[in-house]
Amino acid sequence: MKTVKKEVVNPSKLAELFNEALEIVENRHNFYGDFQKSLGTISEFWSTFLISRGLLTKNLTNSDTATMLSLFKVARTANGFQDKDTFVDACNYFMQAYLNKDVQTVT
């Protein structure tokens, strides 16, 4: 039987990654503009497309959309692309999903 070495996650390393995620959000805001507005627009576009195909009966929320964006990143890792940027982006989208859980689509 193979022995697996279990390492304890260093809280300062976790904080470093979250700080990096925050920096990415700030940089992208400066480059692409307000993420909330973009998230609302994506929610509306995806809702319209899915409803027109009979695949959805009500509009997606911003939280739904942020969760699905994070699933793009999860799919990437499932296909072998496990770089730091992908994990940090997934964390950002999951945090946005949480922050938008009570927010309706905003455009």
For residue 8, pLDDT beyond 80: no
Global pTM value: 0.80
3-state secondary structure of 61: coil
pLDDT in tens, 33-81: 998 999 999 999 999 999 999 999 999 999 999 999 999 999 999 999 9
> 10-17, long-range: CB within 8 Å, 24+ apart, which pairs?
17/84, 17/87, 17/88, 17/91
pLDDT band (50, 70, 90) for residue 13: confident
> Which residue do the tokens 């022995």 mark?
3
For residue 105, pLDDT beyond 70: no
Going by the DSSP 8-state scheme, the letter that residue 100 receives in this structure is T
**Contact between residue 83 and residue 77 where contact means Cβ atoms under 8 Å apart:** no
Cα–Cα dist 2/69, whole Å: 36
pLDDT at 20: 87
pLDDT at 79: 95
